[in-house]
Amino acid sequence: MKKNIGAVNALYPTAVVLVGSELEGVINYINIAHVGVIDMRTISISMGKSHHSNKAIKLNMTLSINFPSEDMVVEADYIGLVSGSRVDKSKVFESFYGELKGAPMIKNAPVCMECKVINILDMPNHDVFLVQPLNTYCEEKVLLNGKIDLAAVKPLLFDMHQRKYWKLGEGFANCWSVGNSYKK
């Protein structure tokens, strides 16, 4: 017997990403957990309209998406606690740039994408930035046969229900494959 707990969005965990932007020459990072895959090229980033990062992104129409590892949890949480409108967060991480202006990336993040904003969905309190990566930069150590290996990335997962960061478990079955053993 299931208990109905109301209109609760149960779609967690999500990956935690650190979104980089730049306003008036100052680098800023924000913690974003409401991130999604639209298709193989397009990602959604749901961001409160009042956030400092929001202004910067609308100005440049670029941003970066950085995957923190488990060992970056303190810094990742900190940048989600304070706003760049009051606190300079530019030194929390060492940054580097790729090809895009306004999209600083985090040196010690294992995976970083520099992205262009292709559309903005205007919601009552949030803007949903639809973005596409121009380049994805990975530490060699997180690549297995040239592809990203999540076991090496050690991403942070976000759980809104218990307000906790989670670690990834183990890969245990192959997609588009294990289903072939289904017995009709």
Rg (CA), the chain: 17
From residue 145, alpha-carbon distances to 32, 52, 130, 140, 141 in Å are 29, 39, 29, 10, 11
**Cβ 121 to ligand FMN shortest distance, Å:** 13
| CA–CA gap between residue 46 and residue 180 (Å, rounded) | 36
Give me the least distance between CB of 155 and ligand FMN, in Å please: 13
38 or 178: whose CB is closer to ligand FMN? 38
Give me the sign of the Cα torsion angle 90, 33, 154, 117: negative
Least Cβ distance, residue 114 to ligand FMN (angstroms): 18
For ligand FMN, give the closer residue by CB, 4 or 125.
125
Looking at the Cβ atoms of 52 and 95, the one nearer to ligand FMN is 52
Q: Which bin fits 45, alpha (ψ -120 to 50), beta or left (φ > 0)? A: beta
Binding site for ligand FMN (CB under 6 A): 16, 28, 30-34, 46-48, 51-53, 77, 80-85, 158
Closest listed residue to residue 18, CA positions, set 27, 5, 7, 9: 27
C-beta of 47 vs 105, nearer to ligand FMN: 47
- Phi–psi pair at 101, nearest 5 degrees: -70, 145
Of 137 and 165, which CB lies nearer to ligand FMN in the complex structure? 165
Nearest to 20 by CA among 126, 86, 98: 98
Least gap, CB of 160 to ligand FMN (angstroms): 8
> CB of 87: closest distance to ligand FMN in angstroms?
8
